[in-house]
């Protein structure tokens, strides 16, 4: 097993695991001694779902919240964004000011953005009760991953809405954020 990460962190790839042949792993770039090896679970050689198999799918299938860059897919591929940490940290706790949002899908409708805003407000309103309920889980791993996902989702919605709002008022172009 090799850990997952996308972006410049992904430094190895392999041939298809679905061909019934031995798996060959190869470097995609020079790898420094002691550097962590990362393979993308959704940008693999035989995958065609880099933007439709995203953070919540990785959580469901592998049990972790991926580190940055994080991809989000809302409304069945109608809104697809990627958040990348531009700071020098290597963990998943980036500050909002260190995040760069890339719009992957076409620009969403105003109706879609209103729905995202309503969902963000709903999440913020339930935060205290949600945290209280999560503390009751027996597994510390479940508690930490559940809270990490909740916070990541709130951050993604906030960033997506802010980015869209800035696009609409013309303070940024699609490539500036």
Where are the domains positioned within the chain? 1-48, 51-177
Residue 176 scores a pLDDT above 60: no
Instruction: For the chain, give the mean pLDDT.
Output: 88
In this predicted structure, what is the pLDDT of residue 173? Answer: 60
Average of per-residue pLDDT across 121-133:
97
Taking the C-alpha atoms of residue 70 and residue 99, their distance in angstroms, rounded to an integer, is 10
Residue 46, pLDDT above cutoff 80: no
Nearest to 3 by CA among 52, 31, 39, 35: 39
Tokens of 111: 């109706």
Is pLDDT above 90 for 107? Answer: no
Question: Do 116 and 161 contact (CB within 8 A), yes or no?
Answer: yes
Helices (H), the chain: 55-62, 110-134, 140-168
Overall average pLDDT of the 63-72 stretch: 95
Lowest mean pLDDT among 4-18, 44-58, 87-101: 87-101
> pLDDT > 90: what percent of the chain?
61
DSSP 64-104: SPPPSSEEEEETTTTEEEEEEE-SS--SS---GGGEEEEE-
Report CA-CA distances (Å) from 149 to 16, 131, 152.
Answer: 30, 12, 5
Radius of gyration of the chain (CA): 18
Beta bridge partners of 15: none
Instruction: Tell me the pLDDT tens digit for each residue of 70-101.
Output: 999 999 888 999 999 988 655 555 667 889 99
What per-residue confidence (pLDDT) applies to 50?
A: 78
> In the predicted model, what is the mean pLDDT of residues 52-73?
94
| Model confidence band, residue 177 (pLDDT cutoffs 50, 70, 90) | very low
- % of the chain exceeding 70 in pLDDT: 90
The first and second tokens of residue 127, run together, are: 């935060």
Cβ atoms 133, 117 nearer than 8 A:
no
């Amino acid at each position: 097993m090799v850990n997952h990460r996308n972006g410049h962190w992904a430094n190895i790839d392999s041939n298809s695991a679905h061909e019934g042949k031995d798996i060959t792993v190869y470097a995609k770039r020079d790898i420094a001694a002691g550097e962590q090896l990362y393979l993308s679970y959704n940008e693999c050689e035989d995958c065609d779902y880099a933007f439709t198999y995203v953070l919540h799918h990785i959580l469901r299938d592998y049990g972790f919240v991926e580190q940055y860059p994080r991809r989000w897919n809302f409304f069945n591929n109608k809104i697809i964004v990627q958040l990348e940490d531009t700071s020098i940290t290597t963990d998943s706790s980036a500050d909002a000011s260190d995040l760069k949002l890339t719009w992957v899908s076409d620009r969403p409708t105003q109706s879609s953005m209103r729905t995202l805003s309503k969902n963000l407000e709903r999440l913020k309103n339930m935060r205290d009760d949600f945290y209280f309920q999560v503390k009751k889980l027996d597994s510390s791993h479940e508690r930490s991953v559940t809270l990490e996902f909740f916070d990541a989702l709130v951050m993604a919605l906030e960033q997506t809405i802010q980015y869209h709002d800035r696009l609409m008022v013309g303070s940024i172009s699609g490539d500036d954020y």
